[in-house]
Amino acid sequence: MADALAERFWQGCAQGELRYQRCPDCGAAQLHARPFCARCGAAPDWAASRGLGTVYAVTHVTRAPTPDFAQLAPYAILLVDLDEGFRMMAHGEPGLAIGQRVCATFEAHGARALPRFVPLREEQP
């Protein structure tokens, strides 16, 4: 069931769109797809994020967790607080720092498009 719920997220990534769930009852935002709102239990709706946020934490991976990611190492992993009110973990451009404004992009990796954050340029919306 978890894979079926996450499919909407991955379809969005393939289309260059960062999708998340928003509760119509309490307004809570959640990234990880669930059949219920983690705050109040209501059925959430899907929404598209603008993909803009602020870096909350950064770590650098030098030893890939699986052979699939070995070709990317070393790489940065970020926790990003998205403007819509949820936090997510994703790849990031090297050199990003805590507190920096970023924008989501998508990078093909195997059969999926993975979210990847880059610095927000002033002229971006």
- pLDDT 10s digits, 76-120: 999 999 999 999 999 999 999 999 999 999 999 888 899 999 999
- The rounded Cα 90 to chain-centroid distance in angstroms is 5
Retrieve residue 60's tokens.
Answer: 């650098």
Name which of 54, 29, 51 is nearest 40 in CA terms: 29
pLDDT at 125 over 70: no
Q: What is the rounded distance in angstroms from the CA atom of residue 101 to the CA atom of residue 103?
A: 7
Q: Which amino acid is at 119?
A: P
Threshold 0.85, pTM exceeds? yes
CATH 2.40.50.840 for domain 2-119, yes or no, is: yes
Residue 104: how many other CB atoms lie within 10 Å: 22
Task: Supply the pLDDT for residue 78.
Answer: 98
- The average pLDDT across 3-17 equals 93
- pLDDT 10s digits, 55-77: 999 999 999 888 888 888 899 99
* Boundaries of every domain in the chain: 2-119
- pLDDT 10s digits, 30-50: 999 999 999 999 999 999 999
